């Protein structure tokens, strides 16, 4: 992978609602590769024209502040730590969540890998995630795709699939088999665009190399990103079967949200103090 291009991406403003330069960057890179794409709701960049190919998705917004964006051009550096290349935005949020995923997808396309892709927006504000309306608008087209891979998980070992009710067990088994040489295994995660995509196709969220997301201690391990990139290539080259969607109605995130809201209502009612 091209590290200089990753730095180029990280140095652009990427905080939610102020990430227009990220969208311009992605479109420019796709144009340079002569890869067609469409725009949904102004900021979502996608191509889902081949139902035989998997979908790869990443989000284009970060939780950086204006201050984080402002210092990024000069403050993002790399250094060696025990033979690993560490990238950070010292004392500021880096934005590896999810510029790592964006960069990996672009690098997959540059490597000539044939995939459907989705660069969505507003994932960091789940209720406004563009993937939600995108999935609703293109549910028929997406349902023909064999499976989906979301590149938006910390670290470089996690397969977030059945534990979050994202994908079918058979799909997870296939990911485990392909992922073993790369050190990947099933784990429980938080929320992601997979919470919406899983409604129409079996999918999983994979670790892409960032750590301590949403904090001013966030960093990326470049070698872990490369591992995620190589794992993604192995998935594309090996897994071609179409898998059923996960049978659960709600993902782990939405089910927990429902329980929390019910508990809040019960507590507010005061009924437990009387009965």
Write down the pLDDT at residue 67. Answer: 97
Integer angstrom CA distances of residue 18 from 89, 97, 213? 18, 16, 19
Up-side HSE of residue 203: CA atoms within 13 Å toward CB?
26
pLDDT at 127: 75
Task: Note the pLDDT tens digit of each residue in 24-57.
Answer: 999 999 999 999 999 999 999 999 999 999 999 9
Q: How confident is the model at residue 140 (pLDDT cuts 50, 70, 90)?
A: very high
* β 185-187/84-89 pair status: unpaired
Residue pLDDT, tens place only, 177-192: 999 999 999 999 999 9
Global pTM exceeds 0.85: yes
Asked if residue 126 has pLDDT above 80, the reply is: no
The pLDDT, as a whole number, for residue 196 is 95
Q: Which pLDDT score is estimated for 275?
A: 57
pLDDT band at 265 (very low <50, low <70, confident <90, very high): confident
Q: Long-range contacts for 86-91 (Cβ within 8 Å, ≥24 apart)?
A: 86/219, 86/220, 86/221, 86/222, 87/6, 87/7, 87/10, 87/219, 87/220, 87/221, 87/222, 88/217, 88/218, 88/219, 88/220, 89/10, 89/216, 89/218, 91/216
Q: CB–CB of 99/6 below 8 Å?
A: yes
pLDDT of residue 272: 67
With a cut of 80, say whether residue 87 has pLDDT above it: yes
| pLDDT > 70 in the chain, percent | 98
How far apart CA 182 and CA 14 sit, in angstroms, is 30
Q: What is the pLDDT of residues 59-72, one digit of tens each?
A: 999 999 999 999 99
Q: What are phi and psi of 38, to 5 degrees?
A: -125, 165
pLDDT for 109 equals: 98
Which CATH number among 3.40.630.10, 3.40.50.300, 3.40.120.10, 3.30.70.100 corresponds to the domain 3-273? Answer: 3.40.630.10
Q: What is the mean pLDDT of the chain?
A: 95
pLDDT at 12 over 60: yes
Q: What is the pLDDT of residue 14?
A: 97
Is residue 118 over pLDDT 70? yes
Q: Of 139, 119, 98, nearest to 35 (Cα)?
A: 119
Neighbouring C-beta atoms of residue 34, cutoff 10 Å: 6
């Amino acid at each position: 992978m091209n590290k200089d291009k990753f730095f180029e991406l990280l140095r652009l403003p990427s905080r939610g609602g102020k990430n227009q330069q990220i969208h311009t960057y992605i479109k420019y890179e796709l144009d340079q590769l002569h890869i067609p794409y469409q725009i949904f709701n102004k900021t979502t960049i996608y191509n889902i024209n081949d139902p035989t190919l998997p979908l790869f998705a990443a989000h284009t917004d970060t939780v950086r502040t204006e201050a984080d964006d402002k210092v990024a051009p000069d403050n993002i550096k790399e250094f060696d730590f025990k033979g690993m290349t560490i990238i950070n935005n010292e004392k500021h949020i880096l934005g590896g969540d999810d510029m790592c995923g964006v960069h990996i997808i672009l690098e997959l396309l540059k490597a000539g890998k044939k995939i459907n892709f989705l660069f969505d927006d507003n994932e960091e504000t789940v209720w406004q995630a563009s993937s939600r309306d995108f999935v609703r608008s293109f549910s028929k087209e997406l349902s023909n795709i064999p499976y989906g891979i979301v590149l938006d998980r910390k670290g470089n070992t996690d397969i977030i699939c059945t534990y979050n009710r994202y994908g079918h067990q058979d799909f997870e088994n296939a990911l485990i088999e392909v992922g073993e040489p790369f050190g990947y295994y099933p784990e429980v995660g938080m929320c992601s665009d997979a919470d919406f995509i899983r409604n129409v196709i079996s999918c999983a969220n994979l670790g892409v190399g960032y750590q301590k997301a949403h904090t001013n201690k966030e960093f990326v391990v470049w070698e872990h990103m490369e591992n995620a990139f190589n794992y993604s290539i192995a998935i594309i080259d090996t897994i071609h079967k179409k898998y059923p969607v996960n049978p659960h109605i709600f993902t782990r995130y939405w089910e927990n949200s429902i329980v929390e809201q019910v508990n809040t209502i019960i507590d507010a009612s005061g009924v437990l103090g009387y009965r």
